C-alpha cells in the first residue's frame, strides 16, 4: 500500500513538472561582460538543482574523508575493547577451572589492553584476577609486581586493591603488611564486612583476644557471623585471654560476672576458670563455678576437677551432698559415680567409696576408676584385689 502511494505521488510530481515546463516560456539571462547568455528558465532550474546536489555531495565527501582517521581510531579502540573483554572472560573461566597459569597470562594481557584504552575499572579487575591467580600458584614475585602496578595506576587508597593485598599477604603470613593494608581499607570503609572479617583473621593469627572480642561483637550485630560460629570464636578468645593475662581471684570473679550466661556454662571456659582459681589457691571459688555450670547444663567431664578440689571437711561434706543430689538425675553416669567414690574416700567412708568405684566400673570400665579402686583396696590392705585392679587399669590405659 505504501509503495502504491509513493508511485502515485511520484507520477503526480512528474506530470506537474511536465505541465509547468510546457507552460513556462521564460528564460534566464546570464550576463558576464563581455559575454551574455540566455538560457531557458526550465534548463536553468534543472542545472541549479543539479549544482546544489553536486555541491552537497562534494561537501559530504570532504567531511567523510576528514573524519576517516577518527573513525579508524574509534574502530580500533572498539576492537581492542572487545579483545580485552574476551581475554577477561577467558581468564575468569580459566581461573574457575583451576588453570591458574593460563588465567594469570590472559588476565595480564587484558590488563595491558585496559591500560592502553584508559579503562581503570577493567584494569583493576584484570589486575586483581592476575594477582590472585599468581598467588594461587605461589608465584609471589609476579603477584607483588602486579599489585605494584595496580597501586601506581589506581593509587594507594584503591579499596579493591587494599582488600586484595590484605587477604593475599595474610595468607602468606606477612602480618605487618597485611595489617597496614587492612587498616587503610578500614579507614575508607569502617563498616565494610569483608574488611572486618580480614582483620578478625589477622587478630586470630596474632592471638590478640581483646581485638578479637570487639570484632566478633561488630560482626555479630550485622549478622556477618552466625551465632554458633561467633560463640566458638568468643570462647577461643576468652581462653586465650585467661592464658595470656593471669588474674587474681578477685579480678577473675569480676571478669567472670561480665561474661554472658551462655559462656559461663561453656565447659571449656568453666574448666579454664576453675583451673585458674585452683592455681591461685582459691578452690572454694572453683567449686562455685563448677557447681553452677553443672547445675545449668550437665557436662560430666567437669566432675573430674570437681572431685579433686582441696577443700576443708565441711565443704567436702557439702560437695558429697551435692553430688548425691546429682545422682538422682544421672544414676548411670560413670564419671559422677567415680567422683562420688573420690569424695567418700576423702571423708573416709570406705564402704561407700568402694561401692561407687565398683558402680562406675560396672557402667563403663575406665583406667582411672580401676586405679582409684586399687588405691582404696591397697589402703584397706587388700593387696590381691588391688593388684587385679591395677592390672585392669594398666590394660585399659594401654588400649
H-helix or E-strand spanning residue 38: strand 35-40
Nearest to 289 by CA among 243, 240, 255, 338: 255
Interatomic CA distance for residues 100 and 164, integer angstroms? 17
Nearest to 131 by CA among 148, 114, 113: 148
User: What domain range is 261 assigned to?
Assistant: 246-297
In a domain, 119, yes or no: no
Interatomic CA distance for residues 357 and 361, integer angstroms? 6
In a domain, 339, yes or no: yes
Nearest to 285 by CA among 313, 258, 317, 248: 248
Q: Is 57 exposed, middle or buried (0-12, 13-18, 19+ CB in 10 A)?
A: exposed
Residues 384, 339: one domain?
yes
H-helix or E-strand spanning residue 29: strand 27-32
Q: Is 19 exposed, middle or buried (0-12, 13-18, 19+ CB in 10 A)?
A: exposed
Q: What nine digits make up the cell of 170?
A: 595474610
In a domain, 71, yes or no: no
Contacts of 221 (CB under 8 A, 6+ apart): none
Nearest to 229 by CA among 197, 256, 259, 260: 197
Look up cell 585452683; give the residue.
Answer: 278
CB atoms within 10 A of CB 149: 18
In a domain, 169, yes or no: no
Contacts of 120 (CB under 8 A, 6+ apart): 114, 153, 154
pLDDT of residue 57: 87
pLDDT digits over 20-41, tens only?
666 666 766 776 777 777 767 6
User: Whole-prediction pTM value?
Assistant: 0.72
Interatomic CA distance for residues 108 and 126, integer angstroms? 7
In a domain, 264, yes or no: yes
pLDDT digits over 72-124, tens only?
777 777 777 787 788 889 989 999 999 999 999 999 888 888 877 778 888 89
Interatomic CA distance for residues 94 and 100, integer angstroms? 7
H helices present in the chain, as ranges: 2-23, 41-97, 100-117, 120-136, 140-154, 159-171, 175-188, 193-206, 209-221, 227-244, 249-258, 261-264, 267-279, 283-296, 303-306, 313-329, 334-346, 350-363, 367-379, 383-398
In a domain, 276, yes or no: yes
Asked if residue 106 lies in contact with residue 96, where contact means CB atoms within 8 angstroms, the answer is: no
pLDDT digits over 290-325, tens only?
999 998 889 999 999 988 888 888 898 999 999 999
Prior bond to 34 cis, omega within 30?
yes
Residues 388, 341: one domain?
yes
pLDDT digits over 42-56, tens only?
777 777 788 888 888
Asked if residue 256 lies in contact with residue 288, where contact means CB atoms within 8 angstroms, the answer is: no
Residues 397, 344: one domain?
yes
pLDDT of residue 226: 85
Asked if residue 158 lies in contact with residue 124, where contact means CB atoms within 8 angstroms, the answer is: yes
pLDDT digits over 332-360, tens only?
999 999 999 999 998 888 889 889 889 99
Q: How many domains does the chain have?
A: 2
In a domain, 360, yes or no: yes
For strands 27-32 and 35-40, give the pairing.
antiparallel
H-helix or E-strand spanning residue 32: strand 27-32
In a domain, 23, yes or no: no
**Residue 156 scores a pLDDT above 80:** yes
Q: What nine digits make up the cell of 225?
A: 557471623
| Mean pLDDT of all residues in 188-203 | 90
**Looking at residue 381, which CATH number applies to its domain?**
1.25.40.10
| Mean pLDDT of all residues in 234-253 | 89
pLDDT of residue 94: 92
The lowest-confidence range among 59-73, 140-154, 231-245, 363-377 is 59-73
| Mean pLDDT of all residues in 227-242 | 90
What secondary structure letter does DSSP report for 259? S
**Residue 256 scores a pLDDT above 80:** yes
pLDDT of residue 14: 67
pLDDT of residue 6: 76
Which position has the higher pLDDT, 248 or 1? 248
Interatomic CA distance for residues 296 and 307, integer angstroms? 18
Amino acid at each position: 500500500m505504501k509503495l502504491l502511494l509513493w508511485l502515485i505521488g511520484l507520477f503526480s510530481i512528474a506530470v506537474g513538472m511536465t505541465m509547468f515546463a510546457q507552460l513556462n516560456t521564460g528564460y534566464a539571462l546570464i550576463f558576464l561582460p563581455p559575454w551574455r547568455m540566455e538560457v531557458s528558465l526550465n534548463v536553468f532550474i534543472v542545472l541549479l538543482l543539479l549544482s546544489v546536489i553536486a555541491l552537497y555531495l562534494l561537501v559530504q565527501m570532504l567531511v567523510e574523508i576528514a573524519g576517516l582517521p577518527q573513525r579508524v581510531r574509534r574502530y580500533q579502540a572498539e576492537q581492542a575493547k572487545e579483545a580485552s573483554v574476551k581475554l577477561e572472560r577467558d581468564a575468569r573461566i580459566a581461573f574457575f577451572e583451576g588453570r591458574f597459569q593460563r588465567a594469570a597470562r590472559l588476565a595480564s594481557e587484558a590488563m595491558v589492553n585496559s591500560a592502553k584504552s584508559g579503562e581503570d575499572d577493567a584494569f583493576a579487575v584484570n589486575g586483581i584476577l592476575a594477582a590472585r591467580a599468581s598467588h594461587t600458584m605461589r608465584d609471589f614475585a609476579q603477584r607483588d609486581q602486579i599489585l605494584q602496578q595496580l597501586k601506581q595506576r589506581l593509587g594507594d587508597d584503591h579499596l579493591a586493591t587494599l582488600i586484595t593485598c590484605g587477604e593475599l599477604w595474610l595468607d602468606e603470613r606477612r602480618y605487618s603488611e597485611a595489617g597496614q593494608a587492612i587498616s587503610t581499607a578500614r579507614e575508607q570503609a569502617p563498616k565494610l564486612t569483608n574488611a572486618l572479617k580480614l582483620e578478625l583473621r589477622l587478630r586470630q593469627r596474632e592471638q590478640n583476644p581483646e581485638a578479637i572480642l570487639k570484632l566478633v561483637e561488630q560482626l555479630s550485630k550485622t549478622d556477618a557471623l552466625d551465632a554458633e560460629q561467633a560463640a566458638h570464636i568468643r570462647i577461643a578468645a576468652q581462653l586465650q585471654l585467661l592464658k595470656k593475662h593471669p588474674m587474681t581471684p578477685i579480678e577473675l570473679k569480676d571478669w567472670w560476672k561480665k561474661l554472658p550466661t551462655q559462656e559461663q556454662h561453656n565447659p571449656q571456659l568453666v574448666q579454664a576458670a576453675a583451673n585458674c582459681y585452683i592455681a591461685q589457691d582459691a578452690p572454694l571459688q572453683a567449686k562455685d563455678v563448677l557447681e553452677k555450670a553443672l547445675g545449668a547444663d550437665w557436662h560430666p567431664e567437669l566432675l573430674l576437677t570437681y572431685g579433686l578440689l582441696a577443700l576443708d571437711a565441711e565443704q567436702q561434706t557439702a560437695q558429697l551432698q551435692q553430688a548425691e543430689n546429682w545422682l538422682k538425675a544421672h544414676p548411670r553416669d560413670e564419671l559422677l559415680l567415680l567422683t562420688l567414690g573420690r569424695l567418700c574416700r576423702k571423708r573416709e567412708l570406705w564402704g561407700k567409696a568402694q561401692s561407687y568405684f565398683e558402680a562406675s566400673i560396672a557402667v563403663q570400665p575406665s583406667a582411672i576408676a580401676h586405679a582409684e579402686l586399687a588405691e582404696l583396696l591397697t589402703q584397706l590392705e587388700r593387696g590381691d584385689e588391688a593388684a587385679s585392679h591395677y592390672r585392669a587399669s594398666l590394660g585399659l590405659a594401654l588400649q
